[in-house]
Structure 1
């Protein structure tokens, strides 16, 4: 594309730009490609290596009776403590079975019984089994199928690319700017529709199940473009992250373990869930199990590694290798044979239930901007059920692709905003050009500790206000970040600087929403407001107005 803009920048024109190449981004690109429009897919990672591939347990879908779409929707709303978007939940439950068949057509081979029926297992809240899986490595197999389909469709793709800003003209998204991570080449995309599918923000916590690439990029870019975020205070901690050695701290241990009879015990040998949730036991909701484990350790009944035990040593080794082969290998690699001794586990930051406010067709409040996956607020409410994450990516990834295509067919490309591009170029390379300053890992380490200590499983006004103050100070410090080298080839520090600013913006929105919600609901548990209140059956909105975050309590969408 010829342009009178900066000749050092590469310009690419396309109809639909998909930012993020995990489960939601790939599914969106696949669907958009069917429209006949030109689609360009961008990923920070090598194609196929997005965070979706780390998902273990499976996808919820009503594939085997007596489970029904209505039952799936019902338990999702109950599990989300009634602040879900009801309209989107109904769409999700209804359309999910068809998305399983889509994945099969892409080559994903789900586990089946000898009869040919899908093998399904029941997670928390599931009276009827919904979880369809491929061993305990479902995400990896799903990603392979999606990548294969994207390649068959010859979707244009660039990996190791960092998008730093959405470009807007008259409050409409018209493109994006970023850099090739390999060589820091600046690239501007001129497009009619943008689909954000950038995932979550786990890296802003000290202990997380998330991939390194989950740095809140989409939340930060959407806020800056004028979009609204919803439910940002709802941060899920998975109850079972590895804790037996620092090298694997926080690595996910699938819920499939507890769903198939795994037993939690403290260092005294007590099956402690009987004290907290005697009916549900290990299959209480994720937030409930996480709080129970936290309490056991805090009160001195944890192991010397600040953990509790998860037992499957009452299973046969054959059962272990059939049901959870990846978990077995994870522990074996650290010198633990889980067929003979228990796992040590502790909660790990896992999922952002909140995100960009979109409707059932993944349209944000900003024309031209669509979003899908963990970067959005869709079906989860105050607590995500296991199996609903990589599932909703398929339902709403497809819908985002359809809606973005329809929008793109109605409009022409807008002129690019030269001043925005110039300003963003200056910001990006200021981290390399700066003569003196702080290295990015210093700021990142401080942020991780603040979020873990002050905005964790249990919260209160004092710690949240301390977090707010600390984040404000870190935002100032981040303006002085510099890379340790001025080389542009593979400058990891440059990417870190950009990601840290995104994490700070995301963290700030989490804290502001958490301060406002003066009750305990799902993943948001406040020791100073321990009760769940009917009057707080509301959502919290976060917007950026005149450079400052503004929060507002809004009604839940139940139509």
Structure 2
């Protein structure tokens, strides 16, 4: 590994270059405070999840009469959780505040005229944020893998990592660190995340630094993920397909949603549709590839082409499949991490002084799709502002040579590893384990078996081999991704065991009773394991709409 390194000092370090991370960095820079962004991606790379292609953002409520309370009730209908934290209550108001250089434009062709025409898609918003980052001359360091946060006596003072191309080391000293590195959906076999992202790195970095995690067992499963080709496996198809009249069929040709929600059928809640598909597959009525069929062939071809042009073009390119004539195989796919790093809701601070987190890295109730980008946008602003205020309270830099040496020694130890096990093969084993034992439907026996199997995999991680070659240091990154996946998987399995009944997208087949009126959060740490903690108290007017929303889920599978 190269002895040449990079040492930087800044007031705020942002780890991750997704929308929430860039929005936080912009807030810091606009306050006149020094900020640096480090990211594993290329400088101009797009967001991590294919779900972004279908998400939209508008700077103000799209429907007349929208209020903060109505927004929270809508959120609750999607998540089956009370969205009652202080930061969630201010999100609808703060989202309407514009930033220079980010203006909505255009509208998606598969949206109805009754919806707002001033909307940005996810990629549009990300491009606009990158433009603003360049205008503010914010340094963005690409292809940098952060291996450890540097902590001294419960206070963060920077991060350590290496370059993915040449292996050179990066030591960044900072007053405050913002983690914006995504969630952990890649620990499931079918996922919308790209191959080397959302492996749980944010959860591991925070937990190893001394922070707690909240609800890591909760993940949103999109019912329509592609099975093939391999490079696109897990990519979610737009919900517009079912709203256009698409139907789900099993291998008997049955429209099986008649068994699970005969009133709304495929238009039932996402988690209900995902559980129905999972049940059909588990009971032997799925396809040979392990999925079910989404069929639009009964609709007039002109209708499909007019309402779903992007979907039609995408499947022609990926599978040479014409959805006007043939069904497409789909499978429930892990799409969004609902659990993540525990934060103080008002400012996104964690248990570690100076450490903040934002975006999918944070444990938070799920937004309705049309609000998801607004959420990232708003919380990025809140987090950036909080980091600025924290940095202003410090009287001088903080360093710990011992912590830095430990981070360096950890990297060097892995570089020299010559064991018999392959990190990528063990990652695949973790994904199979989590899919089998903590998938759409779970039970006690499966979760216990999953923990036992995870112990065996973790034991093998002590004997991995890391091979550096002309392709760069990707194998070293895989070794750290494996460590992240094991920690995220353990937290997921342990919290799933402790959750008493159905809650949002979490479904226990052996505990089918109704969820409590205001369920507890599961808080996990590497030292204490799982602890129950009450959610924030629900504001007036939200508890009842949330309870009413539980009826929208349809019957349990």
- TM-score, normalised to structure 1, is 0.88
**1:16 and 1:404 in contact (8 A); partners too:** yes
* Structure 1 match to 2:52: 55
Distance 1:130 1:471 in 2: 47
* Structure 2 match to 1:24: 20
Q: 1:505 aligns with which of 478, 487, 498?
A: 487
- Deviations 1:18-65 (CA, angstroms, capped at 9, x unpaired): 000011111111111101011101111112323156512223662232
Please state how far the C-alpha of 1:314 moved relative to its aligned partner.
4.9
**2:79 and 2:505 in contact (8 A); partners too:** no
- Deviations 1:316-336 (CA, angstroms, capped at 9, x unpaired): 556545544432232102110
Distance 2:153 2:338 in 1: 30
Please state how far the C-alpha of 1:97 moved relative to its aligned partner.
3.8
The 1:242/1:470 distance shift into structure 2, 3 A limit, reads same
Q: 1:286 aligns with which of 255, 270, 292?
A: 270
2:536 is the alignment partner of 1:557: yes
2:310 is the alignment partner of 1:326: yes
2:318 is the alignment partner of 1:349: no
Distance 1:503 1:8 in 2: 30
* Structure 2 match to 1:312: 296
The 1:319/1:176 distance shift into structure 2, 3 A limit, reads farther
Distance 2:313 2:266 in 1: 23
* Structure 2 match to 1:439: 422
Please state how far the C-alpha of 1:274 moved relative to its aligned partner.
3.0
What does residue range 135-534 of structure 1 map to in structure 2 within 5 Å?
138-212=121-195, 213-243=197-227, 245-314=229-298, 320-321=304-305, 323-333=307-317, 334-358=319-343, 359-380=345-366, 385-485=368-468, 487=469, 490-534=472-516
CA RMSD of aligned residues (A): 2.6
The 1:194/1:244 distance shift into structure 2, 3 A limit, reads closer
The 1:64/1:87 distance shift into structure 2, 3 A limit, reads same
The 1:66/1:260 distance shift into structure 2, 3 A limit, reads farther
User: Could you tell which deviates more after superposition, 488-497 or 156-165?
Assistant: 488-497
The 1:102/1:35 distance shift into structure 2, 3 A limit, reads closer
The 1:507/1:35 distance shift into structure 2, 3 A limit, reads same
Structure 2 counterpart SS, 1:450: helix
- Deviations 1:287-329 (CA, angstroms, capped at 9, x unpaired): 1110011122223333333222223345555654554443223
Structure 1 counterpart SS, 2:440: coil
Distance 1:74 1:439 in 2: 47
**2:447 and 2:493 in contact (8 A); partners too:** yes
* Structure 1 match to 2:10: 14
User: Could you tell which deviates more after superposition, 354-363 or 311-320?
Assistant: 311-320
2:87 is the alignment partner of 1:74: no
The 1:316/1:195 distance shift into structure 2, 3 A limit, reads farther
Structure 2 counterpart SS, 1:56: helix
**2:191 and 2:334 in contact (8 A); partners too:** yes
**2:163 and 2:169 in contact (8 A); partners too:** yes
- TM-score, normalised to structure 2, is 0.88
The 1:325/1:397 distance shift into structure 2, 3 A limit, reads farther
Structure 2 counterpart SS, 1:367: coil
Please state how far the C-alpha of 1:246 moved relative to its aligned partner.
4.4
* Structure 2 match to 1:125: none
Structure 2 counterpart SS, 1:434: coil
Structure 2 counterpart SS, 1:13: strand
Query: Alignment length, in residue pairs?
Result: 531
* Structure 2 match to 1:92: 91
- Deviations 1:91-130 (CA, angstroms, capped at 9, x unpaired): 22333344xx549x425524179xxxxx9669xxxxx968
User: Where in structure 2 are there 5+ consecutive unaligned residues?
Assistant: 540-557
Distance 1:553 1:495 in 2: 33
Please state how far the C-alpha of 1:433 moved relative to its aligned partner.
1.0
User: Could you tell which deviates more after superposition, 384-393 or 474-483?
Assistant: 384-393
The 1:416/1:317 distance shift into structure 2, 3 A limit, reads farther
* Structure 2 match to 1:116: none
**2:107 and 2:117 in contact (8 A); partners too:** no
- Deviations 1:366-390 (CA, angstroms, capped at 9, x unpaired): 221111100002332xxx5434433
Distance 2:87 2:301 in 1: 41
- Deviations 1:377-432 (CA, angstroms, capped at 9, x unpaired): 2332xxx5434433321110111111111111221443322112212212112222
The 1:39/1:557 distance shift into structure 2, 3 A limit, reads same
Structure 2 counterpart SS, 1:469: helix
